[in-house]
Amino acid sequence: MNPFSSGTRLRDMIRAIRACKTAAEERAVVRKECASIRAAVSDNDNDYRHRNLAKLMFIHMLGYPTHFGQMECLKLIAAPGFPEKRIGYLGLMLLLDERQEVLMLVTNSLKQDLNHTNQYIVGLALCALGNISSAEMARDLAPEVERLLQFRDPNVRKKAALCSIRIIKKVPDLAENFVNPVASLLKEKHHGVLLTAIQLCADLCIVSEEALEYFRKKCTEGIVKVLKDAVNSPYAPEYDISGISDPFLQIRLLRILRILGHGDADASDFMNDVLAQVATKTESNKNAGNAILYECVETIMSIEDSGGLRVLAINILGRFLSNRDNNIRYVALNMLMKAISIDGQAVQRHRATILECVKDSDASIRKRALELVYLLVNESNVKPLTKELIDYLVVSDQDFKGDLTAKICSIVEKLSPEKIWYIDQMLKVLCEAGNYVKDEVWHALIVVITNSSNLHGYTVRSLYRAIQTSCDQEAVVRVAVWCIGEYGDLLVNNVGMLDIEEPITVTESDAIDVIEAAIKQHTSDLTTRAMCLMALLKLSSRFPSSSQRIKDIVNQSKGSLLLELQQRSIEFDSIIGKHQNLRSALVERMPVLDEASYSGRRGGSGVSTSGINNIPNGVVKIVDAPLVDLLDLGVDEPAPPPNSSSGPNFLHDLLGVGADISSSSPQSGGRNTMHGHKSGTDVLLDLLSSGSPPAPAPAPATQKSSSTSDLLSLTQLNNNNNNNKPSPSPSPFSGLDTLSSPLPTPGASPMMDLLDGFGPNPTTPPPPPKEEDNGRTYPPIVAFESGALSVMFNLSKQPGSPQITLIEAKFTNKSSQVYTDFVFQAAVPKFLQLHLEPASSNTLPGNASGSITQKLRVTNNQHGKKSVVMRIRISYKLNNKDMLEEGQISNFPRDL
């Protein structure tokens, strides 16, 4: 005997595996067992074969490969003894599947066993065939199975019936052979046989239209009678499940009736009575009873119309909704969802109960109920339903608010009977859950507001009230700020007062207070603050007397670290202070936004290309720039033709400011050529690059490849080094640049005035960088780029020590979010030495509006033989979530 196969008993192996403390230990035990089983397999060991296979099944369950045991299954099945066969078939079902060729070899054994005199062996073979039969096996063995449908022992008959299901699913052509045997099985009294016969009958009806017709004609009556007996039968303890006699049989009967009745009025008519009996007589205090009722409802819903029954069915579901058992409520909601398309009116009657389920403690039930309510809303009930939902919004779970607001907004948008109601409801939602609404929602609200000119006054006053109480909800703040900016005069003068309004006195300074509070609030993000600045600019024209105060507030943002705010602040300050004559035209009320194009865009393809082309001046708006979003509403309106009056044109240009970082204006010559390239460079850099005389007009800005080491990028690098810390002086014209650039003939435009204060002469070349004196410099390389984050390396050498490279890493973040806790780590191979100096900061502002720099010193001990490589790892927090980026830098210049 093989020394390995003396082995352990199954029980001992399981014990050994259970005793393992670690996965590695477990693997070791399994490996050892598998080795000894393999040895036994190759020795063709007969004595322990079924024990080994039992072990393999356990090992398989744990997820280890066991293919080498497949042939053992076949050998065991071919063995004469029952225990061997049993384990063999078990292994066959667990370890093999129908696609494996080995399976073909088992057909013969199966055939013999199906004809065996021992009914248990026949049972084993039927079970295996029913679980794994392939089409070939089904064809070969169908006659045997068909014969076994008439076997004397009921246990064999029922297994043969289920085995037939597998056969007809694999080979639908064989269905007709089974129709007659099934018809006789349906007359059986034995519950188990009847149950399986009904299942076979149902599957026959599914695969074969002829079988369906046959059973519909010949068997409907019989099945109805069986069900009637089951419903009315006296208590039968052996099939009892919690007091209901054989619920599973009733469920199967109801299911076959559903198949027979579907699409056939006569058959449906025939079963109406018994369905009504089931629906009324079944007790609903136990799960088993409810299972029957549930199946019965589904059948009633599927068969041909009988109004009375459907109402009965939906009422059962209504009762389910108030059941204490979560499962029952869950299935009832699922079913009502299907029923709503069949009989919406009947479902409507249970609206109140469904609404209660929206408040359920079980999240999956809440979610379904909300979906159902959404389907139930129509013009006639939208008001009370919305009120209920908004009332619930106040107290709902935090994690449910997102879904709930989305649905409420969608309902209100879709079905609002009038604009004032829409605006009211949206304000309520924003006040309760403004932080959960998507941007499109409040954008849409603004579109509606601009379109309802008679409600401007009402809306701005409502928003003024709302922002007093809900200043923590960002969306409210934004909409309010926008409206106060647009309609501030209506707010102060109480224009367009409606009868329902309570009078309110708001002074100019109150209105400005609100915006000042919003801009100063620490939770306000960049978008909100930028909107505040815009609103202030508008108010400066609406409230000329408060102009000075507004100017002061605007000025406070001049020192903002966020470039966008700084830029706006400086521009707007200049407009308020120096261009009174221009201001009122600049900040005219926004033209009415076109609802149709807005909703069309939302439904369709994002920003349509025509929208981009329409914009004059070649300002290309990049969709994903967050600030475009802010004033994106401008894109919706068809751009005014270039020859229209200057007012809207200026407005447009102002809107364009937001997109400045990512916009480019090909017509405007060298000044703007760098705009819009994805090099991640600063706007400042672009500006100054215009000052470098040798710059070719269409500057190649692909800084990714270090090969473009032309003069341009060199100067850029230098500019970059010199101007890393934004000084206030160059930034005004970075903004003005964009303001003016869209105008093809700057001289003719009054906007050129804005360029006064244009301090340093743009043609003066920037001072040469220090590094150049000390040693070699290299073109900067983009060392790493991932999503919004990019890392640029400026490389230089100290004279006299060629093996030392100084690297200045510069990190920029083009996303709208600020990265905090920013940590950069690097690792190098052994032939390099790396020294990292502390970083300039650990907070990286968004929108590429700032950067972190960090110096590295790399010493290459094999200078000249090997080039520098580096692995980097960057970790930071985005919205308090830990983020990690990793990468390898291998695009260093060769001779470092």
Partner 1 sequence: MIRAVIIMNDEGKPRLVKFYDHQPMEKQQEIIRSIYGVLCSRAENVSNFVQADSTFGKDTRLVYKTFATLYFIVIFDDSENELAILDLMQVFVETLDKCFSNVCELDIVFNFNKVHTILDEIILGGQVVEMNSSEIVKAVNDISGLEKNQNSILRVSKSISGWQGR
Residues 312 to 331 in contact with partner 1, rule: CB under 8 A: 326-331
Cα 538 from Cα 550, distance rounded (Å):
10
- Smallest separation (angstroms) from partner 1 to the CB of 133: 8
The helix or strand, by DSSP H or E, that contains position 836, with its residue range, turns out to be: strand 832-836
- Smallest separation (angstroms) from partner 1 to the CB of 161: 9
Quote the distance between the C-alpha of residue 311 and its chain's center. Answer: 38
- Smallest separation (angstroms) from partner 1 to the CB of 825: 32
- Is residue 4 a contact point for partner 1 (CB under 8 A)? no
- Smallest separation (angstroms) from partner 1 to the CB of 302: 12
Cα 608 from Cα 615, distance rounded (Å):
12
Please say which residue, 9 or 31, places its beta carbon nearer to partner 1: 9
- Is residue 295 a contact point for partner 1 (CB under 8 A)? yes
Decide if 332 contacts 297 (C-beta within 8 A): no
Given 34, 37, 51, 478, the residue binding partner 1 (CB under 8 A)? 51
- Is residue 611 a contact point for partner 1 (CB under 8 A)? no
- Is residue 636 a contact point for partner 1 (CB under 8 A)? no
Please say which residue, 109 or 679, places its beta carbon nearer to partner 1: 109
- Got the DSSP string for 704-737? SSTT---HHHHHHHHHHHHTSS--TTTHHHHHHH
- Residues in 327-356 that interact with partner 1 by CB under 8 A: 327-331
- Residues in 127-156 that interact with partner 1 by CB under 8 A: 127, 130-132, 155
Contacts of 477 (CB under 8 A, 6+ apart): 434, 467, 471, 518, 521, 524, 528
- Rg of the chain on CA atoms, in Å: 39
- Is residue 359 a contact point for partner 1 (CB under 8 A)? no
In Å, how far are 125, 203, 365 from 356, measured between CA atoms?
A: 53, 39, 11
- Is residue 287 a contact point for partner 1 (CB under 8 A)? yes
Given 48, 178, 784, 822, the residue binding partner 1 (CB under 8 A)? 48
Span near partner 1 by CB under 8 A; candidates 52-60, 212-220, 448-456, 494-502: 52-60
Please say which residue, 129 or 447, places its beta carbon nearer to partner 1: 129
Cα 796 from Cα 779, distance rounded (Å):
9
- 865 in helix, strand or coil? coil
Count Cβ atoms within 10 A of the Cβ of residue 728 and give its class: 0-12 exposed, 13-18 middle, 19 or more buried: exposed
Q: In what order do the strands lie in the sheet with 819-827?
A: 819-827, 870-878, 881-889
Cα 283 from Cα 227, distance rounded (Å):
16
Applying CB under 8 A, the site for partner 1 has a residue count of 74
- Residues in 53-72 that interact with partner 1 by CB under 8 A: 54, 57-58, 60-63, 65-66
Decide if 833 contacts 548 (C-beta within 8 A): no
Span near partner 1 by CB under 8 A; candidates 171-179, 190-198, 416-424, 859-867: 190-198
Task: Give the Cα-Cα-Cα angle 722, 726, 730 (nearest 5 degrees).
Answer: 90
Span near partner 1 by CB under 8 A; candidates 87-95, 434-442, 526-534, 746-754: 87-95
- Smallest separation (angstroms) from partner 1 to the CB of 190: 10
Given 162, 211, 536, 628, the residue binding partner 1 (CB under 8 A)? 162
In Å, how far are 15, 109, 114, 697 from 135, measured between CA atoms?
A: 40, 17, 17, 72
Q: What's the CA dihedral at 262, 266, 270, 275 to 10 degrees?
A: 30
In Å, how far are 154, 648, 770, 873 from 896, measured between CA atoms?
A: 86, 56, 20, 22
Please say which residue, 336 or 826, places its beta carbon nearer to partner 1: 336
Q: Which residue carries 């000329």 as its tokens?
A: 544
Binding string, residues 225-254; x marks residues near partner 1 by CB under 8 A: -------------xx-x----xxxx-x---
**φ, ψ (nearest 5 deg) of residue 733:** -85, -10
- Smallest separation (angstroms) from partner 1 to the CB of 280: 19
Cα 247 from Cα 225, distance rounded (Å):
16
- Smallest separation (angstroms) from partner 1 to the CB of 236: 10
Cα 686 from Cα 677, distance rounded (Å):
10
- Residues in 807-866 that interact with partner 1 by CB under 8 A: none
- Smallest separation (angstroms) from partner 1 to the CB of 159: 6
Please say which residue, 22 or 361, places its beta carbon nearer to partner 1: 361
Given 365, 433, 590, 781, the residue binding partner 1 (CB under 8 A)? 365
Please say which residue, 131 or 815, places its beta carbon nearer to partner 1: 131
Count Cβ atoms within 10 A of the Cβ of residue 198 and give its class: 0-12 exposed, 13-18 middle, 19 or more buried: buried
- Is residue 2 a contact point for partner 1 (CB under 8 A)? no
Query: Beta 851-860 vs 832-836: how paired, if at all?
Result: antiparallel
- Smallest separation (angstroms) from partner 1 to the CB of 467: 37
Q: Two tokens at 556?
A: 């406070």
- 90 in helix, strand or coil? helix
- Is residue 263 a contact point for partner 1 (CB under 8 A)? no
Please say which residue, 145 or 684, places its beta carbon nearer to partner 1: 145
- Smallest separation (angstroms) from partner 1 to the CB of 108: 21
Please say which residue, 142 or 249, places its beta carbon nearer to partner 1: 249
- Is residue 163 a contact point for partner 1 (CB under 8 A)? yes
> Per DSSP, what are the bridge partners of residue 854?
809
Span near partner 1 by CB under 8 A; candidates 284-292, 372-380, 600-608, 747-755: 284-292
- Smallest separation (angstroms) from partner 1 to the CB of 242: 8
- Is residue 44 a contact point for partner 1 (CB under 8 A)? no
Span near partner 1 by CB under 8 A; candidates 157-165, 309-317, 496-504, 789-797: 157-165
Task: Give the Cα-Cα-Cα angle 483, 439, 375 (nearest 5 degrees).
Answer: 110
Strands (E), 357-495: none
End-to-end CA distance of the chain: 68
Please say which residue, 60 or 602, places its beta carbon nearer to partner 1: 60
- Is residue 1 a contact point for partner 1 (CB under 8 A)? no
Given 19, 25, 82, 759, the residue binding partner 1 (CB under 8 A)? 82
- Smallest separation (angstroms) from partner 1 to the CB of 319: 14
Given 4, 120, 151, 374, the residue binding partner 1 (CB under 8 A)? 120
- Is residue 683 a contact point for partner 1 (CB under 8 A)? no
- Got the DSSP string for 490-540? HHHHTTT--TTSPP----HHHHHHHHHHHHH-TT--HHHHHHHHHHHHHHH
Cα 656 from Cα 670, distance rounded (Å):
19
- Residues in 719-778 that interact with partner 1 by CB under 8 A: none
Given 268, 290, 450, 812, the residue binding partner 1 (CB under 8 A)? 290
Binding string, residues 89-108; x marks residues near partner 1 by CB under 8 A: -x---x--xxx---------
- Smallest separation (angstroms) from partner 1 to the CB of 553: 49
Please say which residue, 205 or 390, places its beta carbon nearer to partner 1: 205
Cα 164 from Cα 138, distance rounded (Å):
9
- Is residue 157 a contact point for partner 1 (CB under 8 A)? no
Span near partner 1 by CB under 8 A; candidates 163-171, 221-229, 392-400, 832-840: 163-171
Secondary structure string (H, E, C) spanning 158-205: HHHHHHHHHHHHHCHHHHHHHHHHHHHHCCCCCHHHHHHHHHHHHHHH
Given 74, 114, 159, 587, the residue binding partner 1 (CB under 8 A)? 159
Q: Two tokens at 284?
A: 């609903």
Given 70, 76, 186, 191, the residue binding partner 1 (CB under 8 A)? 191
- Is residue 397 a contact point for partner 1 (CB under 8 A)? no
- 299 in helix, strand or coil? helix
- Residues in 10-29 that interact with partner 1 by CB under 8 A: 10-11, 14, 18
